[in-house]
Amino acid sequence: MISCPADIEERSREGENVAYVSWPSPSVADNSGISIEPQLTAGQEPGNDFVIGEYLITYVAVDEAENENSCSFTVYVKGRFNQSINQSINQYVEIQAYI
């Protein structure tokens, strides 16, 4: 059995479009008692900068009998906007509401 971390949401660094994202390795349990290392099969490696967006991360674990199990989670990187931009957007929306 393999168990992935929960979905992750990070905010980009101030003034940039990237965020540093990391997570613990999925846990793997096998009835053989042999240690199995999960392999990343889709998405970026943890411990890297991720550009604003959504990323599906998938791991697979295969035991000595070739039994395979996988798990996935999503990394969400959202932008960070400074206060003046947020105020400008709110003012624009208010003006458009009156037109």
In the predicted model, is pLDDT for residue 95 greater than 80? no
Sorting pLDDT into bands at 50, 70 and 90, what band is 88? low
- CATH number of the domain within which 76 lies: 2.60.40
- What would you report as the CA-atom Rg of the chain, rounded to the nearest whole angstrom? 20
Return the pLDDT at 8: 97
Question: 38 lies in which domain range?
Answer: 2-98
Return the pLDDT at 30: 82
pLDDT tens digits, 14-73? 888 999 999 999 999 888 788 888 999 999 999 999 999 999 999 999 988 888 999 999
26 and 59 Cβ atoms separated by less than 8 Å: yes
Beta strands in 1-99 (DSSP E): 2-3, 8-11, 18-21, 27-28, 39-42, 48-51, 53-62, 68-78
Question: How many domains is the chain partitioned into structurally?
Answer: 1
